[in-house]
Amino acid sequence: MSAMVKIAKVSSKGQITLPRDVRAALGTDHVRIVYSSGEVRIEPVNDVAGSLAHYAKGKKKIPYRVARERAWEAVVREKHKRR
């Protein structure tokens, strides 16, 4: 596999936009940014256990989308709970 090299501008808010072909190659809407030895690496995150691996040891892996939906449902239940 050949390397894909792209240049992205950093906005005044410190944000970058990943080019479409890079996002497509990653295959996810969530990434982990790793800074080490003066280099930045962007890695795809496909599930919650992947993004929070040190918290999820021994836990069943679920897709990030499912975990996010469950979290929102819990927030709604908590907010509308009878007092």
Q: What is the pLDDT of residues 32-77, one digit of tens each?
A: 899 999 999 998 887 655 555 565 556 667 788 888 898 889 888 8
- Residue 83 is predicted with a pLDDT of 59
| pLDDT computed for residue 14 by the predictor | 94
The pLDDT of residue 30 is: 84
Q: Quick one: tokens of 63?
A: 């897709």
Write down the pLDDT at residue 51: 53
Q: What is the 3-state secondary structure (H, E, C) of the chain?
A: CCCCCCCCCCCCCCCCCCCHHHHHHHCCCCEEEEEECCEEEEEECCEHHHHCCCCCCCCCCCEHHHHHHHHHHHHHHHHCCCC
Nearest one of 9, 11, 49, 51 to 29, comparing CA atoms: 51
